[in-house]
Structure 1
Amino acid sequence: MDEPIKMKNNGQISIMLNVQKREKTRKIEGRPAAAKSLPSQHAILREIEEEMNALVGMQDVKKTLKEVYAWIYINKKREAAGLKTSPQALHMMFKGNPGTGKTTVARLIGKLFQKMGVLPKGHLIEAERADLVGEYIGHTAQKTRDLVKKAAGGILFIDEAYSLGRGGEKDFGKEAIDTLVKHMEDKQHTFILILAGYSKEMDYFLSLNPGLQSRFPLVFEFPDYSVNELMEIAGRMLKEKQYELSREAGSKLKDHLIYVKARNKPSFSNGRYIRNIIEKAVRSQAMRLLTEPHINRNDLMMLHSNDFKLTENT
């Protein structure tokens, strides 16, 4: 009989700041109340940090995102003090394998920039090659312009962006690149472009257009998850779905991940891989319980080792 196992789950630390109380104290002591923008801006930072802490790993990404916040915040303070500010394009490049959280972080950045007043909407428009490249001359430029228009006030997120440069000089993908470059310059303060994809492919893609490299001052590296991080992701997914792993099932899953990670296949999809495994195990559990005459709450929640039909291509 499989025994229950407790999955590790890092809790979020909630920090509450009572602004009204602090301002009231200052008034009583005869001190001027702090500017309202200061606590509200830092409240934004705490909110974003809490959401980032809910994500597994990505320490360098979290650090870079906080640096971006600090730069925007201090620039606003310099402007308010009548000092010169250095405008900087905020177009970004996300490098990493599938399932490493690139789209999730893009949504979070949109939310942060909207709250800070950098973007009026902060919404995310996701696109791929088929959404930009047309079938005849001029069609691609129009499709690309339409996407930029939809992304106005928010973020245009293009996944597997390197695919735009795969067809050679006569491919319409080059027309999409040229159109994007023009809009990045002409409308750099009305939308943010994020290009995402595999690290090596993205490096090659940048070499196709000399103007691309300098237009992406912010580069985020999304490393693959470690085995322990993948197990933590599994634990969070299971908790959200109200399932538990038996001790034997947890050991079986971890051993499988150690094996798969050692194979170092480029097609490994990290978080997506874990999600697929869990969804298959849930279906397998359902089939197992289908023939059981009596089913209690624990039966419905527990995933056993034989529910995990693990293969290298899971």
Structure 2
Amino acid sequence: MTDFRSYYGKPVLKEPTWKSPDVPAYLYLGGMAGASSVMALLADRTGRPLLARNGRIAAAAGATASVGTLIHDLGRPARFLNMLRVFKPTSPLSVGSWILAPFSALAGAGAASELTGMLTPLGRLSASAAGVLAPAMTTYTAVLLADTAVPAWHGMYRELPFVFAGSAVSSAGAIGMLTTPRAESGPARRMAAAGAALELAAEQRMHGRDELVGEVYRQGRPGRILKVAKGLTWAGAAGALLAGRSRTITAASGLCLTAAAALTRYGIFHAGKESARDPRYTVVPQRERV
């Protein structure tokens, strides 16, 4: 291990100024909305109208709430609108803004048509277009975090998109399980189990990394939060596989996966802040690379 020295132990990086719970909620809601849009699109194509309806509503509600939490963190709506003044392909923040804004509008139009029964063809078209944008919606926030200099986020740039994608898919499946009768929610249960499996596999790889920065995910407050999230994910995945037999198991599984997805974002967010505070996570890896 490289000897560690820093200037009076002062942080090398400025700690992210993003607020909690605004940003963790933004990360969770956006992912859930994107995956719910895909669920709705596939349900519509396979003749499951109630699951499609619930997916569209979840996508619109999640996207709208995600924009709301982001604006609350920014402080003024004008700051969000300013991010849409230009499109900069080299900036994950700019690209993310241009994913979030049209997705929210399209998902909202699809849900509004679903709820009112008006302009149904246009509503279906809008919901389908949102479904096309949905894969980017579920993962762009992971890229946004990994593109920063924050050690805990940047050091896991390979794993974070898979963690976020799996968590988003499982949380959308959970919404489908909670809102749709068991007779029609089979695809949502399978979606929840598959998403949980992807998330757990990616987290295992992330937590098993030998790099120094990996320890921030295993200790302190972030470690405790992520351990609880992992337990809930396992419980929710097991429940999703058995949920077809009982409404009680279905509800418990959906709640576990929803809580797990939110806690995963919360734990990863705070792991990043912890790693920025401690200069060891910045200085030692840099010296080892040199």
TM over 0.5: no
Structure of greater Rg: 1
TM-score with structure 1 setting the length: 0.28
Judging by fraction of residues, say which structure has more strand.
1
TM-score with structure 2 setting the length: 0.29
Judging by fraction of residues, say which structure has more helix.
2
